[in-house]
A and B are shown apart, each in its own frame.
Chain A
């Protein structure tokens, strides 16, 4: 039995469709990330899950039971909201235990529950403090603890790390993943951050314009995206895209883009296509083997991330990004405005027609 099942959910606000035919199955113990850009429909999906709203069509099943029309209080799920408001005059302990107090949980059960979640998030020493004595990261941990104090098997976390600085996120990503594994519970988690998604998820559902366009394990959808939105957004830096044309030619076809062209095998069809290339597959330098299609590009900027560099390139008007590891001894030192040779292998060019993958160029 699945922990959560969404069947053909739809939601409209007036004439505006915000969710359309959303189906998703979450197994017990999964860490499912709903990944989508702002206004893709993530928050509405969370509201349907938690029972704050009801769908116009479709069903929400929790633990195999249809709860589509059940109120929030009857769903027995934990919830960590995106914007956390701690009560300023309450101690950390009282803030965390608030949902249990509200549910009239016997006093004797409350303190052990507080200790348990405080321990998970490493905030045992802060329980007697007031919120204004906490750093931003500590406050966020208190808010997460409050969301987790309800002892249940399904938790919904609505983009809990958005807006936090990235050293803090680094730490909290670890905390969240460890917490979910220790508890052995089901997490449904929304975010618009690709790396956060891939670091946390056992499965990612890519939400785009109100539709789940693809679901899969992070490695699977990163390596073999089936939809153009998956390739474009799941990855950092974002994948490069070229416009292209496929023309049938003998048994195969010719692929033409403004900067690279190559014959491709098989019947991939005719017409306009989008060609996706991951940044790590754009190689710099003159010593590329015959397997690479090459062209020249002008260096726009080198960004130093420490462990790696992102190099932005202008190839005849096409903006391309590439990533080089800082300890790559073969790397070419390039300067802004320098013209360099770049290479891409046909097998690293993923071809999409009408947003759907039709194949690779090699």
Chain B
């Protein structure tokens, strides 16, 4: 169990930069999800760590050992791919045992390791089953068990759930969550699915254009994105953005149609334009007047996850989305009261990053 360090790591395919001079440490005994849209470089980064792709320049370390030029075999890693790689014609136990033959273990030790992973993945009942008889979710569990039983230094997962049948997804996710929690291995897990990353990861490395935009625990990344990309990419739908927020502020005090009272911008905006960000579920909507609320037109409302209503609201020339509980959504008329709690607002500067600035109520 070691940490993984990449130092000034770059991968270029022709003129396309897949991984852009990345320096980062992925701590040991931690599961890091590489998350991002297609083309962000997450798979290329993982493939370089695995030794399946040679970097254009830069280095990779497992602990203190520089492994940049080692072959995949010599890196002592376990890998699980999108499609389960299993040996047909062998049962579950044989599938797990096969790579252990190279490890020169005593029979007792080998049995102990098999029992351990089978236990961890809750597949005791399937141990003698023929691979051919299993659904592809259970096959993927076998592939995971085989990677884990070897006790490699690190384990790499490449979208292991994506191609599993819907009916088997829940079981596999649960098994992976248990494994990650109890094994405390160094794991790099590639996914484009934010729910999977938020559910499984200790830390998420959010990637775009070959760079890591933010590296943080899931809830921190979700609640406090340090770049508007994180606000947009996470969430369903992502954050609302109000452009040119702060325009017309006099002495830092701003009168905005979004707030019932003037607000004050405290800190240094760096002279740039500000964007206000707020997640749809944090926009408070009521049918009755509230002290700090403003009126808004209800433009549209639809039912989304868990019977919540996604409501499109217009206040002044600003359009926002609010995700509200069923009872609120159902009771709405053409007009509603809307409130943006200051503590739920994130401000972004002109470069998309978080400026050193906070929002307060202006003293009356």
Which residues on A are within 8 Å of B, measured CB to CB?
136, 165-167, 170, 177, 195, 198-199, 218-219, 222, 235-237, 278-280, 300-308, 310, 312, 319, 323, 325-327, 336
Bound CA span A326–B280, Å: 12
Q: How far is the CB of A162 from chain B (nearest CB, A)?
A: 15
Task: List the count of A-B residue pairs having beta carbons below 8 Å apart.
Answer: 100
Which residues on B are within 8 Å of A, measured CB to CB?
37-38, 170, 173-174, 177-178, 181, 192, 194-195, 198-199, 218-219, 222, 232-238, 279-282, 300, 302-308, 310, 323, 325-326, 330
Query: Chain A residue with minimal CB distance to B235?
Result: A306
Q: List 26 A-B contacts (CB under 8 A).
A: A170-B236, A170-B237, A198-B302, A219-B303, A222-B303, A235-B307, A236-B305, A280-B308, A300-B170, A300-B174, A301-B170, A301-B173, A301-B174, A303-B173, A303-B199, A304-B199, A306-B195, A306-B279, A307-B305, A310-B306, A319-B170, A323-B305, A323-B307, A325-B281, A326-B281, A327-B282
Is A167's CB under 8 angstroms from B238's CB?
yes
Bound CA span A199–B300, Å: 10
Query: Chain A residue with minimal CB distance to B326?
Result: A280
Report A-chain residues with C-beta under 8 Å of the C-beta of B235.
306-307
Bound CA span A279–B308, Å: 11
Is A306's CB under 8 angstroms from B37's CB?
no
Q: How far is the CB of B321 from chain A (nearest CB, A)?
A: 10
Q: A219-B330, A307-B281 are in contact. List 7 more A-B contacts (CB 8 A).
A: A136-B38, A198-B304, A301-B199, A307-B305, A308-B305, A319-B170, A336-B181
Bound CA span A218–B219, Å: 32
Query: Chain A residue with minimal CB distance to B193?
Result: A166
Is B306's CB under 8 angstroms from A237's CB?
yes
Report A-chain residues with C-beta under 8 Å of the C-beta of B195.
303-306
Report A-chain residues with C-beta under 8 Å of the C-beta of B282.
327
Q: How far is the CB of B14 from chain A (nearest CB, A)?
A: 14
Which of B38, B222, B236, B308 is in CB contact (< 8 Å) with A325? B308
Query: Chain A residue with minimal CB distance to B201?
Result: A304
Q: How far is the CB of B358 from chain A (nearest CB, A)?
A: 21
Is A278's CB under 8 angstroms from B307's CB?
yes
Query: Which of A222, A307, A323, A325 is the most central at the interface, judged by chain B CB atoms within 10 Å of its CB?
Result: A307
Report B-chain residues with C-beta under 8 Å of the C-beta of A327.
281-282
Q: How far is the CB of A310 from chain B (nearest CB, A)?
A: 8
Is A280's CB under 8 angstroms from B306's CB?
yes
Is B236's CB under 8 angstroms from A305's CB?
yes
Q: How far is the CB of A321 from chain B (nearest CB, A)?
A: 9
Chain B interface main SS type: helix
Report B-chain residues with C-beta under 8 Å of the C-beta of A222.
303, 307
Bound CA span A158–B235, Å: 27
Is A304's CB under 8 angstroms from B173's CB?
no
- What 7 A-B pairs have minimum CB-CB distances, sorted nearest first? A323-B306, A304-B198, A307-B281, A280-B307, A280-B306, A301-B174, A306-B235
Q: A199-B302, A323-B305 are in contact. Are A307 and B325 (CB under 8 A)?
A: no
Query: Chain A residue with minimal CB distance to B175?
Result: A301
Bound CA span A318–B49, Å: 42
Q: A304-B198, A306-B235, A306-B236 are in contact. Are A325 and B325 (CB under 8 A)?
A: yes
Bound CA span A236–B308, Å: 10
Is B323's CB under 8 angstroms from A307's CB?
yes
Query: Chain A residue with minimal CB distance to B232?
Result: A167
Report A-chain residues with C-beta under 8 Å of the C-beta of B37.
165, 167
Report A-chain residues with C-beta under 8 Å of the C-beta of B305.
195, 236-237, 305, 307-308, 323
Bound CA span A177–B326, Å: 22
Bound CA span A304–B173, Å: 12
Q: How far is the CB of B240 from chain A (nearest CB, A)?
A: 12
Is A198's CB under 8 angstroms from B308's CB?
no
Is A302's CB under 8 angstroms from B303's CB?
no
Query: Chain A residue with minimal CB distance to B304?
Result: A195
Bound CA span A319–B169, Å: 14
Is B38's CB under 8 angstroms from A304's CB?
no
Q: A235-B307, A325-B325, A336-B178 are in contact. Are A305 and B198 (CB under 8 A)?
A: yes
Bound CA span A170–B302, Å: 13
Is A308's CB under 8 angstroms from B170's CB?
no
Report A-chain residues with C-beta under 8 Å of the C-beta of B38.
136, 165
Query: Which of B282, B306, B310, B326 is the most central at the interface, judged by chain A CB atoms within 10 Å of its CB?
Result: B306
